[in-house]
Amino acid sequence: MRGVSLFASGGIGDLSLRAIGVDVIVANELLEDRAEVFKKNFPECSMHIGSILDLKDNIVQDTRERLRGNKLDFLLATPPCQGMSKNGRGKLLSLIRNGERPKLDPRNQLIVPTIEIAKALLPEVIVFENVPEMKDTLIEHENSLINIIHFVKQELEPLGYVGTEEVVEFANYGVPQRRQRLITVFSKNQNLKKYFGVHFSFLPATTHSKNPTNGAKPWVTVRDAIGDVPKLDARNKIGASSESIEYHRVPLLDKEKYFWVSNTPPEKGAFDNQCVKCGNSNNPTHGASKDKHGINRSHTETPIRCLNCDKLLPRPWVNKSGEYRLMKGFTSAYRRMKWDLPATALTTNLSYACSDSKLHPNQNRVLSLHEAFIIHTISKYEYLWKRNDNGRTSDKLIREIIGESIPPYGLEIILRHINEIYNENNLTIEPKDSQLRAFEEVHEVYNLVP
C-alpha cells in the first residue's frame, strides 16, 4: 500500500504507517532539520522541504508519478497545532460581533492546501491528527468564517467521503502517556463506509482504562514503562548520565533548582514544599483560581518564607537584589510525575524542570531522552536519531520532534484497525439492535449498502 505524509516532521507518526504495511512515497515538512531526520529513516520516500502553500502542486504531481496509475491508500496530515484556538466558537463569534475579534492564526489556514491536495489525489483513507482544540477552531474561507471540521466535511463529503472527528486519549490504547489528540478520519472505501454507517466511527475499541472493566487492561504507568531504568541525579555530571545506555542523560540543575527539586516529595510540586530548617509542615500550599475574566491565575499570597522560623522555603523563587518572591507561572511547574499513572503529555519542553509535571517521580531530575523514547513508544520501532545530511542531531531537535509528534504505537492500533476493515474481503457487519434505526436513516445519505 502507498501513503503520503504532510507536516511529517521527523516521521514519528509515519512509523505507524510503515508498521501496517504502507510505504510512505511522498512527504512534506517545512523545516529542514526535521526533514533531514525523516529522510534518514525513510530513504525511499520523496521529501518536499518547505511550505505546503508553495509546494502543493509539486506534491500532487510527484505523488501521481510515483503511483503510476495505482490508487493512493492513505493520506496522513498533522498540521501545526500552535495556532489552534482554545476559545470556543461562540466566544470568538461574540468578539467578532463586538468588534474585538483577534487576528486568526495563519497556521490554521494550512488545512486549505491540505484539503486541496486530498481532493487532487483522492486517497482511500484520510487521517488528520491534531489537538482537541481543532474542533473549535475557525478559519477564513471564501470571505467568511467557518469551523475547521465543518470545512473539511464540506469539501470531502461531496466527493463520496464519510467520517468524523473524535478526541482520543492515547493512554486508553496502552501508551504510557496521557495525551489527548483529535483524530479525524474520512474514507471513500466501500468497506469503511459500510462500517461507518453502523458504528459512526472508524476507531477501534479502547484496550486500556484508568478503571478497567469488561476485559480492559489497566493503564500502562510510568512505573511499568521506566521503573527499572538505571537511576540518574542532576546534581553533577557524574550522576547525570549513563555510560551504558545511549541517550540516558539529563541536564544539570543549578544549585537553587536542585534545592527545590531535591526537597519535593513524590507526587508533589516544589511550590508546596515545606520548611527544611524547623520542620514546619503547615505553611500554606500554592494554588490557582480564575479571575473575573475567567483566566486562571496563580495565588499571590503563597508564602516564600516559613511562617514559623522565617527561613526561605525550598519553593521556586526569584531573587532581585536580595528580595525574594515566589516565581510566577503554572502551579504544575517543578512537579513530579506519578509512578502509578501514565506520564503527562511529553512536550518540546520535556527536559525542563519548570515545564508541566516533568520531574521524575522520585529522582532529582527530569526524564532522560531514553526514557522519553519509551514513554512516547518510539522505542518499539526501528528509528535513527540521525540526519541524512550528516548534520548534528541535537538534544533540542530530538525534544522538538518528540513534542511535535503523536505516540506511534497508539496511532498504529488505530490505523491497523482501519486497515483490516479496508482490506477485508466480503465484509459483513452485524449492527447492534440500538444502531439499526440510525443505520437505516443514514445509509442513503452516504450511499451505503444496508
Residue 377 falls within a domain, yes or no? no
On average, the pLDDT of the chain sits at 89
Which one is predicted more confidently, 293 or 398? 398
One domain, residues 127 and 204 = yes
Band of the pLDDT at 91, cuts 50, 70, 90? low
One domain, residues 286 and 421 = no
Residue 354 falls within a domain, yes or no? yes
Query: Can you give the pLDDT at residue 296?
Result: 61
Query: Can you give the pLDDT at residue 94?
Result: 60
Residue 420 falls within a domain, yes or no? yes
Backbone dihedral angles phi then psi of residue 66, each to the nearest 5 degrees: -75, -25
pLDDT at 133 over 90: no
- What letters, b where the CB count within 10 A reaches 16 and e where it falls short, cover 192-213? bbbbbbbbeebbeebebbeeee
One domain, residues 48 and 104 = yes
One domain, residues 155 and 281 = no
In this predicted model, what pLDDT tens digit does every residue of 190-203 receive, in sequence order?
A: 999 999 999 999 99
pLDDT at 432 over 60: no
Band of the pLDDT at 88, cuts 50, 70, 90? very low
Number of domains forming the structure of the chain: 2
Query: Can you give the pLDDT at residue 85?
Result: 44
Residue 316 falls within a domain, yes or no? yes
* Highest-confidence segment of 107-116, 133-142, 218-227: 218-227
Q: What is the CATH number of the domain that holds 181?
A: 3.40.50.150
One domain, residues 186 and 258 = no
Residue 390 falls within a domain, yes or no? no
Which one is predicted more confidently, 217 or 294? 217
| Domain stop point among 367, 385, 415 | 367
One domain, residues 235 and 311 = yes
Query: Can you give the pLDDT at residue 128?
Result: 95
One domain, residues 26 and 121 = yes
One domain, residues 172 and 201 = yes
One domain, residues 329 and 295 = yes
Query: Can you give the pLDDT at residue 250?
Result: 97
Band of the pLDDT at 291, cuts 50, 70, 90? low
Query: Can you give the pLDDT at residue 292?
Result: 63
| Domain stop point among 339, 367, 395 | 367
Instruction: From residue 414, give the alpha-carbon distance in Å to each of 99, 169, 302, 361.
Output: 43, 12, 45, 30
In this predicted model, what pLDDT tens digit does every residue of 305-321 receive, in sequence order?
A: 999 999 999 999 999 98
Query: Can you give the pLDDT at residue 439?
Result: 44
In this predicted model, what pLDDT tens digit does every residue of 223-277 receive, in sequence order?
A: 999 999 999 999 999 999 999 999 999 999 999 999 999 999 999 999 999 999 9
| Average confidence (pLDDT) over 384-398 | 97
Query: Can you give the pLDDT at residue 84?
Result: 58
Rounded percentage of the chain residues whose pLDDT exceeds 70: 88
Give the other-Cβ count within 10 Å of 189's Cβ.
Answer: 21
One domain, residues 198 and 140 = yes
One domain, residues 84 and 195 = yes
One domain, residues 50 and 186 = yes
Query: Can you give the pLDDT at residue 435?
Result: 44
In this predicted model, what pLDDT tens digit does every residue of 333-356 receive, in sequence order?
A: 999 999 999 999 999 999 999 988
Residue-number span of the structural domain to which 358 is assigned: 230-367
| Domain stop point among 367, 390, 424 | 367
Query: Can you give the pLDDT at residue 428?
Result: 74
Query: Can you give the pLDDT at residue 190?
Result: 95
pTM: 0.88
290 three-state secondary structure = strand
Residue 21 falls within a domain, yes or no? yes
Residue 281 falls within a domain, yes or no? yes
Residue 286 falls within a domain, yes or no? yes
Lowest mean pLDDT among 96-105, 134-143, 270-279, 315-324: 96-105
Three-state SS letters, the chain: CEEEEECCCCCCCHHHHHHCCCEEEEEEECCHHHHHHHHHHCCCCEEEECCHHHHHHHHHHHHHHHHCCCCCCEEEECCCCCCCCCCCHHHHHHHHHCCCCCCCCHHHHHHHHHHHHHHHHCCCEEEEEECHHHHHCEEEECCEEEEHHHHHHHHHHHHCCEEEEEEEEHHHHCCCEECEEEEEEEECCHHHHHHHHHHCCCCCCCCEECCCCCCCEECCCHHHHHCCCCCCCCCCCCCCECCCCCCCECCCCCHHHHHHHHCCCCCCEHHHCCCCCCCCCCCCCCCEEECCCCCEEECCCCCCECCCCCCECCCCEEEECCEEEECCCCCCECEECCCCCCEECCCCCCCCCCCECCECCCCCCECCHHHHHHHCCHHHCCCCCCCCCCCCCCHHHHHHHHHHCCCHHHHHHHHHHHHHHHCCCCCCCCCCHHHHHHHHHHCCCCCCCC
